[in-house]
């Protein structure tokens, strides 16, 4: 465990807690966290996760805009459910991206756990996009992903990050509960 990992983990807890509470400050704090984690994952050869953090950086800016400027009269998005067809399309894109990225990482890099890392990366992008759009379904997907990330990070010896993702799992359960009970939830 490094000081950098500790600082990034602390920012992660703050960012996810603010997300659960629908506070738009989750996005700039999350931006700093993902940039720090891109370096951490590069150092331990989890290249798909490193790339994921860099894409997250862009999605942090997108989420910040969505939560503060999009929607009716530019007041930001409201919590809503993702309809069936777009939900299945998102999961399908996640699957195809998992296979393509896994094959690339297995063939062209010395990545550790290229297939698992690629699957977690691809589906995390789906979950992050849904979160930026305030879709309730982001939370159950995060619960599954965060649980799998815990195992991967334990395997890689990133114990603090594994604990962080265990906490993310708990926060995702809380987020799912709170967003489903949001008084302005739109179908």
Euclidean distance between CA atoms 5 and 39, whole angstroms: 10
Beta carbons of 69 and 76 less than 8 angstroms apart: yes
Picking from 152, 123, 157, the residue whose alpha carbon sits closest to that of residue 140 is 123
**What average pLDDT does the structure give for the chain?**
90
Residue-wise pLDDT tens digits, 119-133: 999 999 999 999 989
pLDDT confidence tier of residue 109, bands split at 50, 70 and 90: confident
Query: Helix 84-108 to helix 47-68 angle, to the nearest 10 degrees?
Result: 150
Beta carbons of 152 and 116 less than 8 angstroms apart: yes
Beta carbons of 143 and 179 less than 8 angstroms apart: no
pLDDT confidence tier of residue 160, bands split at 50, 70 and 90: confident
How much is the pLDDT for 111? Answer: 82
Q: How far apart are the first and last CA of the chain?
A: 43
Euclidean distance between CA atoms 150 and 152, whole angstroms: 6
Residue-wise pLDDT tens digits, 10-68: 999 999 999 989 899 999 999 999 999 999 989 888 887 888 899 989 999 999 988 88
Region 79-98: what's the mean pLDDT? 95
pLDDT at 71 over 60: no
The 3-class secondary structure across 106-144, one letter per residue, is HHHCCCCCHHHHHHHHHHHHHHHHHHHCCECCHHHHHHH
Region 152-156: what's the mean pLDDT? 92
pLDDT confidence tier of residue 73, bands split at 50, 70 and 90: low
Euclidean distance between CA atoms 135 and 105, whole angstroms: 30
Domain boundary assignment for the chain:
3-180
Picking from 13, 52, 42, the residue whose alpha carbon sits closest to that of residue 29 is 13
């Amino acid at each position: 465990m490094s000081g950098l990992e500790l600082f990034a983990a602390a920012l992660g807890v703050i960012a996810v807690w603010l997300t659960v509470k629908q506070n738009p400050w989750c996005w700039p704090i999350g931006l700093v966290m993902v940039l720090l984690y891109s370096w951490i994952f590069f150092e331990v050869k989890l290249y798909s996760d490193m790339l994921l953090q860099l894409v997250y950086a862009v999605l942090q800016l997108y989420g910040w805009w969505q939560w503060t400027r999009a929607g009716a009269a530019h007041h930001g998005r409201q919590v809503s459910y993702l309809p069936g067809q777009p939900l299945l399309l998102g999961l399908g894109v996640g699957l195809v991206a998992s296979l393509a990225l896994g094959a690339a990482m297995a063939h062209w890099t010395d990545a550790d756990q290229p297939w698992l890392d690629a699957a977690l990366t691809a589906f995390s992008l789906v979950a992050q996009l849904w979160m930026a759009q305030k879709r309730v379904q982001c939370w159950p997907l995060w619960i599954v992903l965060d649980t799998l990330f815990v195992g991967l990070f334990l395997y890689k010896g990133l114990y603090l990050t594994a604990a962080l993702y265990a906490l993310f799992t708990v926060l995702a359960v809380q987020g799912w509960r709170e967003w489903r009970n949001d008084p302005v939830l739109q179908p």
